[in-house]
Amino acid sequence: MKITVMQNGPYLVETSNASLTKDGIEEKIDGKMIALCRCAHSTNKPLCDGKHKHGGFESEAAEVKIN
């Protein structure tokens, strides 16, 4: 799994074996990249919907690799 912290944006999570449960519904996200909200403005939490671009959210970029 790799997590990229986008500058002024979401966490980008790249995984080969995971699922996301939201509102009791599980979705497989194997081999996909998903964007998780960090700014708290998304109306689709925990997923990012791009509202950070208009909400003035600022943060540094980083990268995390998990083995």
Q: What is the pLDDT of residues 2-59, one digit of tens each?
A: 899 999 999 999 888 788 888 899 988 777 888 999 999 999 888 899 999 988 899 9
pTM for this model (two decimals)? 0.80
Residue 13 CB contacts under 8 Å (≥ 6 apart), including other chains:
1, 2, 3, 29, 33, 34, 35, 36
Residue ranges per structural domain of the chain: 2-65
Which residues on neighbouring strands pair with residue 25, listed in sequence order? 22
The domain 2-65 is placed in CATH, from the list 3.40.5.90, 1.10.10.10, 3.30.540.10, 3.10.20.740, at 3.40.5.90
For 51, phi and psi rounded to 5 degrees?
Answer: -65, -20
